[in-house]
A and B are shown apart, each in its own frame.
Chain A
């Protein structure tokens, strides 16, 4: 699984190495490292590391190891995408749907509309970061309610 780990490194030599050791120790393969020197706060530099881990258990072990060596883990975002199909029955504007999905950090990969004005139905294929999928679906549920439409998701 591909993960973006954001760490708060103190601006001293050798700290990054400690973190990388913990990642390697737990089977993680480093894909890229980005130092975000533009956003240094009180002596800490945020560093984003893209890592390929064999599974979520090894990610958890690496996170624990990094924190145990005194480096705070600010965020661990899985870059895995969940893809799901939804139907919206009712008069909903496609732009409004696109905007709502976008606001939640996801994207509509495919969208079509049938039924004309009498019986409109939107079908959309949505791509979301796996861990955001349930929040996204809950938010689309309230979106449908606001619009007086019926949302149908995959079971």
Chain B
């Protein structure tokens, strides 16, 4: 059995812990969990009944940083699920480095470290013979990275265009269908828990840009940084502008584009009958391959569906390690 620890016990961490502890992912057991409060561990593996709602209520809690748990060398796999930090990627970046240095495999949904230090981390993983999988960082449960890297390895990806942020897509959809102002649609999204209390990163296009950097670096072999992306957000979009677009059979969507001209994020006019024109919190990505041509994939880009990407990456690690008899 592969032994795994989860660092970050919030929305995703709790759901994933429950799945692993209940045996839903074959070949793996959960031996440690960390949050900002400390960590708990159990070398023979947690069962569903062992999982506390809050680590503070566990009698096993050790008041020490997650790095101590990673350093214990009781696990083969780290699942890193701490909050995304776009300034320096911390604490996730240090967690991932520490694990890879010990040759541990890593699966993560944390965009910060992958967007800021992709080359470094991939280099480190290769040097140590470890795997670093990050499907869950972009597009929630939609398989984007594995789609290219497993199903379309031989074809060349020429461009990526996509709606990569569910919050702004929800807001723009409400403006389109209900004629609402941006402010009102934003407040509604906050009430529904779709938008965060501070929605700046979403509205200003930074979240889309982060995901675009991750896709361009991991699928198009680029070496881009967040500062290489020309970013325009949606804060200037008015209901009048959306109404004018609607009259012409179009609407406005926040689109991230990566192609030979570089990386950019901007509100764009999109035809209502274009396959990429999805509404609500849905995400949609259109790839343009040299031979295959255009391929568009649509799905929920965040929330519960993200757990699907995590367990598929975990399954990939288990399968690979079983084949190489490392477990």
Query: Which residues of A in the span 57-111 have a Cβ within 8 Å of any Cβ on B?
Result: 85-87, 89-90
**A87 with B257: CB separation less than 8 A:** no
Q: Is the CB of B238 within 8 A of A152?
A: no
Question: Does A155 lie within 8 Å of B240, measured CB to CB?
Answer: no
Q: Is the CB–CB distance between A153 and B243 below 8 Å?
A: no
A118 → B minimal CB distance (Å) = 9
Closest residue on chain A to residue B286 by CB atoms = A155
Residue B47 is within 8 A (CB to CB) of chain A in the complex? no
Whether B267 contacts A119 by the Cβ 8 Å rule is no
The reply to whether A114 and B243 form a contact with Cβ atoms under 8 Å apart is yes
**How many chain B residues touch A (Cβ–Cβ < 8 Å)?**
25
The reply to whether B267 and A152 contact each other, CB–CB distance below 8 Å, is yes
**Residue contact A119 to B238, C-beta cutoff 8 Å:** yes
Tell me which residues across on chain B come within 8 A of A126, comparing CB atoms.
Answer: none
Q: Chain A, interface size: which category? A: 10 to 19
Contact of A115 among B240, B245, B268, B269 (CB under 8 A): B240
Q: Indicate whether A38 reaches chain B with its CB closer than 8 angstroms.
A: no
Q: Let me know if A146 is at the binding interface, CB within 8 A.
A: no
Binary per-residue interface labels of chain B (246-282) against chain A in the complex, 1 for a CB within 8 Å, 0 otherwise: 0110101101010000000011111100001000000
Q: Which residue of chain A is the closest to B181 with respect to CB atoms? A: A119
Which A residue sits closest to B266, measured CB to CB?
A: A152
Residues of A within 8 A of B240 (CB): 89, 114-115, 119-121
Distance, CA A63 to CA B81, complexed state (A): 59
Cβ < 8 Å to B, chain A residues 120-155 = 120-121, 123, 150, 152-155
Known A119-B238, A121-B241, A152-B241; judge A85-B248 contact (CB<8 A). Answer: yes
A85 / chain B contacts, CB cutoff of 8 Å: 248, 250, 269
A32 at the interface (CB under 8 A from B): no
Q: Is the CB of B238 within 8 A of A121?
A: yes
A85, B271: Cα distance in complex, Å? 11
- Asked if B237 is an interface residue, CB under 8 A from chain A, the answer is yes
Bound Cα distance from A87 to B232, whole angstroms:
15
B244 touches A (CB below 8 Å):
yes
Once bound together, how far apart are the Cα atoms of A116 and B8, in whole Å?
50
How far is B248's CA from A123's CA once the two chains are assembled, in angstroms?
A: 10
Which of B237, B241, B252, B255 neighbours the largest number of chain A CB atoms within 10 Å of its CB?
B241
Interface class of chain A by DSSP: strand
A82 to chain B, nearest CB (A): 14
In the complex, the answer to whether A121 meets B161 with C-beta atoms within 8 Å is no
Q: Determine the residue in chain B with the shortest Cβ distance to A86.
A: B269
Asked if B129 is at the interface of the complex by the 8 Å CB criterion, the answer is: no
Q: Of B239, B241, B255, B270, which one neighbours A87 at CB under 8 angstroms?
A: B241
* 10 A-B pairs closest in CB distance: A155-B268, A115-B240, A150-B236, A123-B244, A121-B240, A154-B269, A121-B241, A119-B238, A114-B240, A89-B241
Task: Give 29 A-B contacts (CB < 8 Å), ordered by A residue.
Answer: A86-B269, A87-B241, A87-B244, A87-B269, A89-B236, A89-B238, A89-B240, A89-B241, A112-B244, A114-B243, A115-B238, A119-B238, A119-B239, A120-B240, A121-B238, A150-B236, A150-B237, A150-B267, A152-B245, A152-B266, A152-B267, A152-B269, A153-B268, A153-B269, A154-B268, A154-B270, A154-B271, A155-B257, A155-B268
Binding site for A on B (CB under 8 A): 161, 232, 236-241, 243-245, 247-248, 250, 252-253, 255, 257, 266-271, 276
Q: In the complex, given contacts A87-B241, A155-B270, what are 16 additional A-B residue pairs having Cβ atoms less than 8 angstroms apart?
A: A85-B250, A87-B269, A114-B243, A114-B244, A121-B241, A123-B245, A123-B247, A150-B232, A150-B236, A150-B267, A152-B245, A153-B268, A154-B250, A154-B271, A155-B255, A155-B268
